[in-house]
Copies of this chain bind each other. A is one copy, B any other.
Amino acid sequence: MDDDRTADLGFARIDLEREARTGDPEVVYGAGKTAEQVAAILTTLHERHPDRAVFATRLSSEAMDAAAAVGAEIHPVARAATLGPLPARRGRVGIISAGTSDSPVAAEAALTVAVHGAEPVVINDVGVAGLHRLLAVRDLLESLDVLIVVAGMEGALPSVVGGLVGAPVIAVPTSVGYGASFGGLAALLGMLNSCAPGVTVVNIDNGYGAGVAAARICRVEAQ
């Protein structure tokens, strides 16, 4: 069953048609895959999509080494790899994080934005306990096309950002916190119940998903 639509590696059945359907090639979700599997899938994807970077996320150290060995560029903070040239950019996506500990998730989101064809603009450590830090960058916020807001603990930042601007806001809860944060559940629930209209949410620590959504929003050409 290896054809133009699918590449069958035995352990994986790669969806070659995905770019045609959705505009983006399949991405390798590295968790639960061996380093060899990650490298093999990346290589296969690169062969079928030579003109555009293919992408692997949630990589172990071994998988990052294996990816490097087949020519991929490694992004250690995001624990990700890219193979091939980044696409041209359309749109500017803000990635706004509440605290320093949220950086890995913000990095994954920023890299995903770039891989999917938009420009990431990172704004770190502007949590709501010191509002002046956020208000100081308000003009920058208003210049961006889409905003990804990354926060752990109580996850209040998307509500505040969503009240300041009219751009689409994608909230990413992180597992930063302890005790009653329950691995990011508190932030997730907070964001789902945001009193700011129009905030949408992705899974805990899912910088990748937020990045894809943001980049796709930048492609919309509504009339």
- Bound together, the chains give a CA A105 to CA B31 distance in angstroms of 15
Interface 9-mer from A43-51, A64-72, A79-87, A150-158: A150-158
Given known contacts A159-B154, A179-B183, is B197 in contact with A208 (CB within 8 Å)?
Answer: yes
- Asked if A201 and B193 sit within 8 Å, CB to CB, the answer is no
Report A121-176 residues with CB < 8 Å from chain B CB.
Answer: 124-133, 136-137, 145-146, 153-156, 159-160, 162-168, 170, 173, 175-176
Given known contacts A136-B1, A156-B128, is B220 in contact with A209 (CB within 8 Å)?
Answer: no
- Asked if B90 and A162 sit within 8 Å, CB to CB, the answer is no
Copies in the complex: 8
- Asked if A179 and B168 sit within 8 Å, CB to CB, the answer is no
CB neighbours (8 Å) of A184 from chain B are 179-180
- Asked if A13 and B203 sit within 8 Å, CB to CB, the answer is no
- Bound together, the chains give a CA A145 to CA B125 distance in angstroms of 30
Most B Cβ at <10 Å: residue of A12, A98, A179: A179
Count contacts on A: residues with CB < 8 A to the other chain.
Answer: 104
- Asked if A193 and B181 sit within 8 Å, CB to CB, the answer is yes
- Bound together, the chains give a CA A117 to CA B1 distance in angstroms of 28
Q: Which of B13, B137, B188, B197 contacts A125 (CB 8 A)?
A: B13
A59 within 8 A of B: no
A73 within 8 A of B: no
- Asked if B198 and A193 sit within 8 Å, CB to CB, the answer is no
A203 CB to nearest chain B CB (Å): 4
A199 within 8 A of B: yes
Interface 1/0 per residue, A179-197 and B, CB below 8 Å = 1111111111111111111
Task: Jot down 8 A-B pairs with beta carbons below 8 A, ordered by A.
Answer: A130-B163, A167-B220, A168-B213, A175-B179, A181-B203, A199-B209, A201-B202, A219-B222
A205 within 8 A of B: yes
Report the nearest B residue to A130, measured CB to CB: B15
- Bound together, the chains give a CA A5 to CA B188 distance in angstroms of 30
Q: Which of B99, B136, B192 contacts A202 (CB 8 A)?
A: B192
CB neighbours (8 Å) of A60 from chain B are none
